[in-house]
Amino acid sequence: MTWLEGKTIVMTGAGRGIGAATARLAASYGAHVVVNDRDAAEAEAVARAIGEAGGTAVSHPGDITDWAAARELVMRAVAEWGRLDGLFNNAGLFRMARIEELDEASVRAHLEVNVLGSFACAVHAARQMLAQGKGGAILNVSSGAQMGLPAMSAYGASKGAMASATYAWATELREAGIRVNALSPMAATRMMDEAERYLGAPVSSVPAEFNAPVACYLLSDAASGVTGQVVRIEGRVLSLAVHPGIALPTLEGEWDFETVADAFRTDLGRRQFPSGTVGMTVEIGGNASRTWD
């Protein structure tokens, strides 16, 4: 199959795990891949393996949190193949800590890598795609942790930020034909190794390769009608994450302490959304029913 034939795609954090699996699969579908990772040896190994398998790839190690380095990464694709068609914003940092265990360095690191780094790559990718005037695809990475998981507040907040950015960018870039989606993956990667160390129990045995077909689909022209979505893949389960919004019906009135208290006592209290990762049944037309799991 050649779903990505001739497409030039930058993939960050592609030295191993989901990024490496996606880079290999995309190349097998005909894409030209720029393999980015902070670890130069790992990036080079993936690019070399792609070449040995008959694909086309170059390695471009670097730190995406450096705004100028992110631009250089995007321009490497243009220098090699004359254009940029896709960005897989996959590089990320994951550490677990309950709120009382958090320190400034850990919180800042999550925001710098997962948010600032992803923004840097997406901004430069979008500018290049807009200049080309022929559309493109940006695929960010979110997480089920954005819905509220214990000991994942810093990570979840950073991935929630990327979900929000995905919705905004998809709206901004729609008329230019640039699609923006986010992947919410699950796999036995270094991140899951960290979770298992913290929890003292196995977390996931899903191979990284299970996520690659979804990522490649969202980067391909086959997904031309898909934008502004957070797509969840967890082993055999494929789903969409529900977008944030205002819960209907709303209440109208003159609000002081007593009327607010009464609103929660009679209406809003029983309509509260549970914290933690949940499932919601969404009917065609966007009407959400109160179904949780």
The pLDDT value given to residue 105: 96
Listed residues 219, 240, 261: the one ending a domain:
240
Query: Are 74 and 196 within one domain?
Result: yes
1 is a domain residue: no
Query: Are 36 and 152 within one domain?
Result: yes
Tokens read off for 178: 């640039």
The pLDDT value given to residue 77: 98
Sequence-distant contacts of 163-169: CB under 8 A, at least 24 apart:
163/230, 163/241, 164/244, 165/118, 165/119, 165/122, 165/140, 166/140, 166/142, 166/228, 166/229, 166/230, 167/228, 167/243, 169/122, 169/126, 169/138
Tokens read off for 263: 């609103």
267 is a domain residue: yes
Query: Are 209 and 265 within one domain?
Result: no
Query: Are 226 and 250 within one domain?
Result: no
**Is 29 among the residues known to form the active site?**
no
The pLDDT value given to residue 290: 45
- Whole-number Cα distances in Å, 155 to 70, 74, 102, 142, 186: 21, 25, 11, 10, 14
User: Can you tell me which residue has the tokens 């960290």?
Assistant: 194
pLDDT of residue 289 exceeding 60, the answer is no
Tokens read off for 213: 């077909």
The pLDDT value given to residue 142: 94
Query: Are 96 and 231 within one domain?
Result: yes
48 is a domain residue: yes
Query: Are 226 and 255 within one domain?
Result: no
29-75 residue pLDDT tens: 999 999 999 999 999 999 999 999 999 999 999 999 999 999 999 99
Q: Residues 177, 218: contact at Cβ < 8 Å?
A: no
- The catalytic position among 29, 155, 198, 217 is 155
86-145 residue pLDDT tens: 999 999 998 989 999 999 999 999 999 999 999 999 999 999 999 999 999 999 999 887
Contacts of 53 by beta carbon, 8 Å cutoff, 6+ apart: 24, 27, 28
206-254 residue pLDDT tens: 888 999 999 999 999 999 999 999 999 988 899 999 888 899 999 999 9
139 is a domain residue: yes
Quote the domain boundaries for residue 290.
245-293
Query: Are 173 and 270 within one domain?
Result: no
Query: Are 101 and 201 within one domain?
Result: yes
**CATH number of the domain encompassing residue 57:** 3.40.50.720
Query: Are 286 and 142 within one domain?
Result: no
Q: Which residue, 69, 64, 56, is CA-closest to 23?
A: 56
Query: Are 218 and 256 within one domain?
Result: no
78-87 residue pLDDT tens: 999 999 999 9
Listed residues 205, 220, 240: the one ending a domain:
240
154-200 residue pLDDT tens: 999 999 999 999 999 999 999 999 999 999 998 766 666 776 777 77
Tokens read off for 104: 């400034």
pTM above 0.85, yes or no: yes
262-271 residue pLDDT tens: 999 999 999 9
Amino acid at 206: V
2 is a domain residue: no
The pLDDT value given to residue 53: 98
pLDDT of residue 285 exceeding 80, the answer is no
Query: Are 126 and 261 within one domain?
Result: no
Q: Is the peptide bond before 207 cis (omega within 30 degrees of 0)?
A: no
Number of domains in the chain: 2
Query: Are 37 and 82 within one domain?
Result: yes
